Amino acid sequence: MPTPAAVGHRIVHSGPHLTGHTLIDARVRALLADVADLAPLHVTPALPVVDAARELLPDIPHVACFDTVFHKDLPAPARAYAVPERWRAEYGLRRYGFHGLSYSWALQRTAQALGRPVDNLQVVLVHLGGGCSACAVRNGRSVDTTMGLTPLEGLVMSRRSGSLDPGALLWLQRRHGLSTDELDDTLHRHSGLLGLSGISGDTRDLVRARAEGDAAAALALATFTLSCRRGIASMAASLDRLDALVFTGEIGEDQPEVREEICSALAVLGVRGGLLVPELEDLMREGLRRIDQGRSGVPVLVVATGETQQIAAETRQVLGM
């Protein structure tokens, strides 16, 4: 391998003080440690990797590339929680949004596929993987997204609950004595598709189990696809029109049953079912496929996840390469 010129690190949460991809120095490293508890599944394990890479490769620059940057200009109504000013100003309670590196890549590829400039597109992007979210993009900018202060909000996910009535959490604490640590562990690691099915957080396993008559697997998939439709519809409410619906992420790429069940029930948005099913090898080689039948409905695309490529591009840009 040639000697690397730089290292780009995916960091899920930027916190309030970092609004762009940036060179990692002592100050930035300290700021990242301070926000690790806002994305404990991601930032906490990422920081030892950052430290090890900086120690092993001390003479080259290391760049933090954030999933939150794509959403940094969310409009105030989409960014704000309906809580008192003190919570928002003093505690910094606000919505950030995530999966931004994935969305950046998918948006550029979508513009190429449709032959239209990014700044003239209004699309809903859906990242479905271990974590799941949807995002509304108006003229090249994120204007709404389903994730919030942390990557726990929004759609049902593989092992994460997604949005939950906050009153339910208060009730679990008061009535059943669940501790903060118990709630944290359960909502992050034992909920979502896994919690609903009792067998797996992997949609491939659940599709097979449903075909064999597993009622819990069927419920998990039905709840998941309903959650996705709700998220997509809520994102469309922030747009004037819907130029395309775009799937990315591991589930978005490789689970045609999920895509079909989502789209076939979105006729209200002009999205139709009967989707084409590209071979995964072809999708990985070409990078994207349009999968709607090209009739009168909204275009539906699948874009191969490109977070790694986006990190490389953002790193080069930060360093002026």
Active-site pick, 25, 37, 67, 184: 67
Active site residue 37: no
Q: Which residues of 23-33 are buried (b: 16+ CB within 10 A; e: fewer)?
A: ebeeebbebbe
Alpha-carbon distance of 263 to 266, in angstroms, equals 5
Cβ(117)–Cβ(111) below 8 Å: yes
Strands, sheet with 62-66, edge to edge from the N-terminal-most edge strand: 7-11, 62-66, 22-23
Q: What are phi and psi of 216, to 5 degrees?
A: -65, -40
User: Distance of CA 208 to CAs 153, 218, 252, 282, Å?
Assistant: 28, 10, 17, 23
CB-based contacts of 237: which residues, under 8 Å, 6+ apart? 144
Q: SS3 for 172?
A: helix
Of 50, 228, 37, whose CA–CA distance to 129 is shortest? Answer: 228
Q: Where are the beta strands (DSSP E) in the chain?
A: 7-11, 22-23, 62-66, 122-128, 132-138, 141-145, 244-248, 288-290, 300-303
How many CB atoms within 10 Å of residue 218? 17
CA angle 265, 124, 200 (to 5 degrees): 60
Alpha-carbon distance of 216 to 209, in angstroms, equals 9
Q: What are phi and psi of 163, to 5 degrees?
A: -60, 140
Q: SS3 for 227?
A: helix
Task: Give me the active site residues, please.
Answer: 67
